[in-house]
Structure 1
Amino acid sequence: MIEIKPWLKHYPEEIPASIEYPTDSLQSYLIKSAEEFPGKPAIHFMGKELTFREIRESAEKLAAYLQKLGIKKGDRVAVMLPNTPQAVIGFYGILLAGGVVVPTNPLYMERELEYQMKDSGALAIITLDILYPRVSKVFHKTDLKHIIVTAIKDFLPFPKNLVYPFIQKKQYGIVVKVKHEGSNHLLTEILNKPATDIEEYPIDFDEDLALLQYTGGTTGFPKGVMITHKNLAANVLMCNRWLYKCRPGEERVLGILPFFHVYGMMAVMVLSIMQGYKMILLPKFDPDTTLKTIQKQKPTLFPGAPTIYIGLLNHPDLNKYDLSSIDSCISGSAPLPAEVQQEFEEVTGGKLVEGYGLTESSPVTHSNFLWDRPRIKGSIGVPWPDTDAVIFSLENGERLPPGEIGEIAVKGPQVMKGYWNRPEETAMTLRDGWLLTGDLGYMDEDGYFYVVDRKKDMIIAGGFNIYPREIEEVLYEHPAIQEAVAAGVPDPYRGETVKAYIVLKEGATASEEELDEFARKHLASFKAPRIYEFRKELPKTAVGKILRRALVDEERKKLQEDEQKHA
């Protein structure tokens, strides 16, 4: 008989197996924090600070304006912004108006933006002045009725607010001036007006959507994940219990993870608003700026992704900065190499652990313990409170015992309602309450889980199942390697063969022969990469996740072109 939830015996007494969830809307937490910590800084952004009271007042003004424009309960409103105060105000303003937030990547080009706006049926979008030309080109092809425009300078302190437009012109080569008229609205004009009453809509905590969060779309078209108030609030409350040593109203959270991704939204924005933490926002990841910000602002919490930690560790002047304020980091979005974990903890003196989740689970389901328990090398940890996880057989769908590899499935209050307007795909992904993750893994006897790879990323070479993550873990141990990704590329003899894409550390050298010898010392010969390609950088998502599929697609395209040449 398979033991049910064996991981619970490892929980420290501070973490409960189950949590009671208040049926409060997400926006209610902003109102509560503004009452409890009115004059406390909620946001630090490039030298300017805003209090919880100011964030609430601005969000309420925006909510009233959105309702005046005709936004009603359940209407979708997009937010196409980097991590700025406007992104926080936009998120809570939309919720206070009764709307559903559609987070949108500021890097989206017109085709991607048009698809998301059409699919979501968004009626309004909040965006930056420099993104306005892109938005305006798709405006009439979608259901959009209003564009609310803001600028980075709008929330900068004097004299940065005067200087920034010149920096922006030099960087992007454009100056965009939008007037507050017609379907165009300026956020500064909205926030300069006196507050008016907001019509309050009753919120069904279990059923009403807070977010329509689009998946990355690395395979096929992006899908809108329907995340309810309960899904996101439950995951934030779980996170809060996991971080049981953190003090309400005291912590400072480094906000590099983008808010248009649900991990950054949950682990930085909503957690900080709920707990009265101060967010230190950076609109993009730049190692120089990040190190200077850490030294000056002294964040205590640093949710991140492996590529962010790697980027800091490989900065040539790392030893000139004091990073000792950092106490706790949960890494997500991609596997965390053991070498990176160890080195980052040595540099900061804090704890860095790997977590696991996906957009469809709002997003976190598993994590290693930060304190009072040993971390297990290579493990994504154990399920969070109220979260169940099992391994299902790929052959017959039966539940597998410890040690056997199958598909990881999860169940809990953070699991999505389904995919927007895609009942068939919802039925394929949600089965009897279980969310099928598409990840291959196993559970050990103690209830710790391990991801061996994405179902779609598994390499089958010469009849062997090969998991890229195992190869990457080995490559990361080589002292010259900064980043590595392994992928299966077409091979006429083996079906697929293993190719490694390598980014070397600055000033480091390594040959293909040297890496091949190193890999074969640690891996069975059928797993060792047969091809190595050295690159200056690897394609990544906005959260820093390496796009393995993009590399595989490149290889397939090359193969097709070669075949056409020789046809």
Structure 2
Amino acid sequence: MLNLAVFLDDSVRRYPHREALVCGHRRLTYAEVGALADRVAGLLVSRGIRPGDRVAITCPNLPEFVAVYYGILKAGAVVVPLNVLLKEREITYHLNDSGARAYFCFEGSPGLPTGESGSAAAARAPACANLFIITADPESASPIEGTETLTRALDHHAEFAAVAREATDTAVILYTSGTTGQPKGAELSHANMVLNALTANQLFDSTPAECDTHLVALPLFHSFGQSINMNAAFSVGAKMVLMPRFEAGAALEMMAREGVTVFAGVPTMYWGLLGARGSSGAKDLRLAISGGAALPVEIHTRFEERFGVRIHEGYGLSETSPLAIFSPPGQDPRPGSIGLPVWGIEVELVDEQWNPVGGTGEIAIRGHNVMKGYFARPEATAEVVRDGWFRTGDLARRDADGFYYIVDRAKDMIVRSGFNVYPREVEEVLMSHEAVSLAAVVGVAHDSRGEEIKAFVIREGTARITEAELIAWSREQLASYKYPRLVEFVDSLPMTATGKILKRELRS
């Protein structure tokens, strides 16, 4: 028997008076978070939620997300975290696709009306009979007419003993981004999630005695933030400092004020920290973790020079809980490498027919982290899972020591005049130019060449380089079929809520 909520329950028993969550002026101990999660579980059971039922949540990085997440698990139900940027139509799809029977939704703001969108979506989801509005001020009334606030709903519920679940039962359904077709829900078991968090702590040398402080800027609705920050931290009684929205300057201030020792982020967050002014904020930082996308070598170098901490890069997906490959502890990171397979995980490079290859190939993964499958989609599952192996869609190479290096997403590869061009290689070269702060490279349709290479570039500071100058420079650095013929300077790049660059929007 196993329930992912054991991470919270165990820390409540062992460290009830330790600070668990910090968010603005709010500071909650483990005992307080545990009590709130118990009340959420009791509420769900009183409303007819049974083990295995799906319960959705839309909420930024607030204490309520954490308490509701573990409360759902304690009730024996399945957590369905939703991206806070989803619109009404998209929320409706996710509620109906998962068959969610209850939905916790943050009230939102004028610029991001999640409460209005969520309540309208819940009304169009026949199975979703329970809607609870999470308010920014826990004591305030719901701004959505006719809806019930979480605080009011919790009035009459107290202690709750976690429902026993099997290790193979589904704990969380994480929806993929849906870059091809409709989003699919990856079913992750209690064993998937528990082992992933424990594996992370083993890698990071995180123990109850270490008493780390995590700055949580990654959205908790995403697998990276859930496993590497929340579940890993709560399993050892660590403290989480929550950032509802990442802002580099504020992040540095929080690092300094709270004595942050662990920071996990995506490459664009590290790029933002390098561009922020003021205190380094990293005097206590012992561990910097990057994932979600390939980290440019230039950012590796500049971050260590400024903050005195080397970034350890890893790799994983929602379908792998997510941690699968990581820079080995006790060794210097190899810039550009995502490291070696973590404990209990096998990795292979395969071709389109699943045959192992010696050169560049698609990453396939097998082990305790691989999802059960896509919820209610056996055909889609069969396309990517075979004999326990999951094929990721990411291309990589492996060096003589077994270290893996991401080459690119298979779908992002550019085919120009019959030659394969990997955008990441071009991006790395462009970012080595002193006038380039950030670059994203995509393929755009071309009548005779099939695709042409285009770079979207953010200049460094007040740099005055022109498109023609950058194209001429890159022509000297890259083979004739690789350098970008098109350059567009921009002030910003479109990104997901997790900080990944949205290349599909750049192509449109």
Q: How far apart, in 2, do the equivalents of 1:63 and 1:176 lie?
A: 21
Q: Among residues 213, 220, 239, which one is paired with 1:259 in the alignment? A: 220
Equivalent residues in 2 for 1:242-281, closer than 5 Å: 242-244=203-205, 248=209, 250-281=211-242
Query: Which is worse superposed, 373-382 or 71-80?
Result: 373-382
Give the corresponding residue for 1:148. Answer: 132
Q: How far apart, in 1, do the equivalents of 2:116 and 2:157 lie?
A: 30
Q: How far apart, in 1, do the equivalents of 2:490 and 2:124 lie?
A: 39
Q: How far apart, in 2, do the equivalents of 1:28 and 1:249 lie?
A: 20
CA shift at 1:189, angstroms?
Answer: 2.2
Give the corresponding residue for 2:56. Answer: 78
Amino acid at match of 1:387: I
Give the corresponding residue for 1:375. Answer: 333
Q: Among residues 307, 329, 342, which one is paired with 1:384 in the alignment? A: 342
Equivalent residues in 2 for 1:168-567, closer than 5 Å: 177-178=143-144, 184-195=147-158, 197=160, 201-205=163-167, 207-244=168-205, 248=209, 250-315=211-276, 317-318=277-278, 320-369=279-328, 371-394=329-352, 396-401=353-358, 404-552=359-507, 554=508
Task: Please provide the CA RMSD for this pair.
Answer: 1.7
Q: How far apart, in 2, do the equivalents of 1:355 and 1:515 lie?
A: 31
Q: How far apart, in 1, do the equivalents of 2:482 and 2:390 lie?
A: 30
State TM-score, norm by structure 2: 0.95
Q: Secondary structure at the match of 2:262?
A: coil
After superposition, give the CA deviation of every residue in 1:442-493 in whole Å (9 maximum; x if it has no partner).
2122111111111111111011011011111111112222221111110111
After superposition, give the CA deviation of every residue in 1:241-284 in whole Å (9 maximum; x if it has no partner).
11126554510000000011011011111111101110000101
Amino acid at match of 1:305: V
Q: Secondary structure at the match of 1:460?
A: strand
Equivalent residues in 2 for 1:50-69, closer than 5 Å: 50-69=28-47
Amino acid at match of 1:105: N
Q: How far apart, in 1, do the equivalents of 2:138 and 2:210 lie?
A: 27
Amino acid at match of 1:357: G
What fraction of aligned residue pairs are identical, expressed as a percent? 38
Q: How far apart, in 1, do the equivalents of 2:354 and 2:222 lie?
A: 31
Q: How far apart, in 2, do the equivalents of 1:493 and 1:248 lie?
A: 63
User: Is contact 2:95–2:128 with CA below 8 Å preserved after alignment?
Assistant: yes
Q: Which runs of 5+ in 2 are unaligned?
A: 109-113
Amino acid at match of 1:345: E
Amino acid at match of 1:146: N
Give the corresponding residue for 2:111. Answer: none
CA shift at 1:152, angstroms?
Answer: 2.1
Alpha-carbon distance change, 419 to 288 in structure 1, aligned in 2, over 3 angstroms: same
Amino acid at match of 2:332: P
Across the two proteins, how many residue pairs are aligned to each other? 502
After superposition, give the CA deviation of every residue in 1:292-342 in whole Å (9 maximum; x if it has no partner).
211211210001000001011112x24x34322211111011110111112
Q: How far apart, in 1, do the equivalents of 2:313 and 2:38 lie?
A: 37
2:121 aligned with 1:138, yes or no?
yes
Q: How far apart, in 1, do the equivalents of 2:259 and 2:180 lie?
A: 39
Give the corresponding residue for 1:158. Answer: none
Q: How far apart, in 1, do the equivalents of 2:360 and 2:491 lie?
A: 35
Q: How far apart, in 2, do the equivalents of 1:341 and 1:247 lie?
A: 29
Q: Which runs of 5+ in 1 are unaligned?
A: 1-22, 156-164, 166-174, 555-567
CA shift at 1:194, angstroms?
Answer: 4.9
Q: How far apart, in 1, do the equivalents of 2:184 and 2:464 lie?
A: 42
User: Is contact 1:37–1:249 with CA below 8 Å preserved after alignment?
Assistant: no
Q: Secondary structure at the match of 2:493?
A: coil
CA shift at 1:520, angstroms?
Answer: 2.2
State TM-score, norm by structure 1: 0.86
Q: How far apart, in 2, do the equivalents of 1:114 and 1:245 lie?
A: 39
Q: How far apart, in 2, do the equivalents of 1:421 and 1:480 lie?
A: 49
Q: How far apart, in 2, do the equivalents of 1:358 and 1:50 lie?
A: 31
Q: How far apart, in 1, do the equivalents of 2:248 and 2:135 lie?
A: 23
CA shift at 1:42, angstroms?
Answer: 0.3
Q: Among residues 105, 111, 117, which one is paired with 2:95 in the alignment? A: 117
Alpha-carbon distance change, 448 to 249 in structure 1, aligned in 2, over 3 angstroms: closer
CA shift at 1:509, angstroms?
Answer: 2.6
User: Is contact 2:316–2:322 with CA below 8 Å preserved after alignment?
Assistant: yes
CA shift at 1:178, angstroms?
Answer: 4.6
Amino acid at match of 1:208: D
Alpha-carbon distance change, 321 to 192 in structure 1, aligned in 2, over 3 angstroms: farther
Q: How far apart, in 1, do the equivalents of 2:464 and 2:267 lie?
A: 22
User: Is contact 2:320–2:370 with CA below 8 Å preserved after alignment?
Assistant: yes
CA shift at 1:539, angstroms?
Answer: 1.1
Alpha-carbon distance change, 532 to 26 in structure 1, aligned in 2, over 3 angstroms: same
After superposition, give the CA deviation of every residue in 1:206-255 in whole Å (9 maximum; x if it has no partner).
x2111110001122111000010011111111111111265545100000
User: Is contact 2:42–2:157 with CA below 8 Å preserved after alignment?
Assistant: no
CA shift at 1:192, angstroms?
Answer: 4.2
Amino acid at match of 1:28: V
Q: Secondary structure at the match of 2:439?
A: strand
Q: How far apart, in 2, do the equivalents of 1:520 and 1:37 lie?
A: 59
Query: Which is worse superposed, 88-97 or 335-344?
Result: 335-344
Q: How far apart, in 2, do the equivalents of 1:258 and 1:248 lie?
A: 26
Give the corresponding residue for 1:90. Answer: 68
After superposition, give the CA deviation of every residue in 1:130-157 in whole Å (9 maximum; x if it has no partner).
32211122222112111111222329xx
Amino acid at match of 1:202: A
